[in-house]
Structure 1
Amino acid sequence: MRLKQWEDLPEKMKNDKVLPYYDIIKKKTASLLWKRVFDICLSVVLLVVLSWLFLILAILIKRDSCGPVLYRQTRITQFYRPFTIYKFRTMTDHGEQMGALVTTQNDMRITKIGKKIRKYRLDELPQLVNVLKGDMTFVGTRPEVLKYVECYDEEMYATLLMPAGITSLASIRFKDEEKILSAYSEQEIDKAYQSVILPKKMQYNLDYLRKFSFFYDLQLCFQTIIAVCKK
């Protein structure tokens, strides 16, 4: 995992608010290397060990509703680069076209089996492929769609110095995000996410960059496992 030279960053990222975070990460060469080694090794192991679970979930999804097993969406990762994220489909086919980009606790678009899969975050498992490809990492800022990234203030762009992650401190703290959004009407959900939840999540994400180290990543991985098991 390499950090680009400052002059090679996208123009939106080259600002005075991002520079302090860039300087912090630039000094963590060893942690960046171990982070990528960890990503490759663990993603390969999990893809092999959990292959049976992938098959079972695929069968359950196909039996539960019409549509593809996998859900694909364009998100933004490191250095403002778009990529295709993979998830097990938990909504009705084309569900993302029938409502907000984010989901709520009692979202009618979520299928019966989808609710169970989402409860334990099993829908995220296909992202192991994204991690192996280098589009994502195990620990890092959750990838957003372009619509939300375009709402970032100058400091928030610092989160794009690192690859998007499967889990993060923000994900752990906002594990009940869908419940929070349920308090808003369907017309208000996107706006509420952008103005209320996203800024708070970004504070956690920026704090992660300040504290970044390979061992801190391991700590957050364990915290994620504990948080999921408590559901």
Structure 2
Amino acid sequence: MFNLLVAALLFVLAAPVMVLAAVLIRFSSRGPVVYTQVRVGIDRRWSRMRALHERRREDLGGIPFTIFKFRSMRVDAELNGRAVWAKQNDDRVTSVGRVIRKTRIDELPQLYNVLIGDMNIVGPRPERPSIFVRLREQIQEYPVRQRVKPGITGLAQISNPYDQTLDDVRRKVAFDIEYMRRQSVVEDVWIMLRTVPVMLFRIGGW
């Protein structure tokens, strides 16, 4: 209920900014305004034994869902179809995209993901299935973060820049697990408040 109320309030308050962002994206570069992508969500099976005849033969690590973001990259950013980590000063980013990424405006459509129950405001960032599979093979604790719903912001996101190496991911996983230990409404509000200077002063990363 807390997440729904916060998401609804933020959606209303951010509506003018989202409309402006949509217009700028629409007329500045070719392609859709909103970008959708499949991400790995909460794993509801972790706490119980798998059934003898599991319906889902492929273990994705969590429930897949479609995430919504304002498009900040060229439509040909992944011509080969392979998932590629975003990075600072990424040459695939459009001129408008560079601004909305730095201010995190591109994340605002994910409020809809919160309203429909796929995400929370605060939680670990959801990853793409292909990248998730690679990371859980290389980082033993990585699947643990799927025991809670993913979030738009989180302790890891406000404490670290964009991932560029496996060590960066390991640090974020440690923050995610620390958040899970302390998870509460008070903790979520504290992280939300710390997200504001991250957006204003362009520190940290998603």
TM-score, normalised by the number of residues in structure 1: 0.73
Does 1:85 find its partner at 2:40?
Answer: no
The within-5 A match list for 1:54-69 is 54-69=18-33
Q: Which moved more, 1:110-119 or 1:146-155?
A: 146-155
The within-5 A match list for 1:1-231 is 37-79=1-43, 80-97=62-79, 101-150=84-133, 151-152=135-136, 153-174=139-160, 176-177=161-162, 181=164, 192=165, 195-231=166-202
Kindly provide the CA deviation profile for residues 8-31 of structure 1, in whole angstroms up to 9, marking residues without a partner as x: xxxxxxxxxxxxxxxxxxxxxxxx
Residue aligned with 2:10, SS:
helix
Kindly provide the CA deviation profile for residues 36-56 of structure 1, in whole angstroms up to 9, marking residues without a partner as x: x11111111222222222211
2:141 & 2:128 partners in 1: Cα distance?
Answer: 18
Give the conservation status (yes or no) of the 8 Å contact 1:156–1:206: no
2:87 & 2:198 partners in 1: Cα distance?
Answer: 19
Residue aligned with 1:78, SS:
coil
Residue aligned with 1:177, SS:
coil
TM-score, normalised by the number of residues in structure 2: 0.82
Task: Give the number of equivalent residue pairs.
Answer: 180
Unpaired segments ≥5 residues, structure 1:
1-36, 182-191
Q: CA RMSD in A?
A: 1.6
Give the conservation status (yes or no) of the 8 Å contact 2:104–2:199: yes
Deviation, structure 1 residue 97:
3.3
Deviation, structure 1 residue 154:
4.6
1:95 & 1:56 partners in 2: Cα distance?
Answer: 23
Q: What amino acid does structure 2 have at the position aligned with 1:104?
A: K
Residue aligned with 1:215, SS:
helix
The structure-2 alpha-carbon separation of the partners of 1:100 and 1:135, relative to structure 1 and needing over 3 Å to count, comes to: closer
Runs of 4+ in 1 over 6 A off after TM superposition: none
Unpaired segments ≥5 residues, structure 2:
44-61
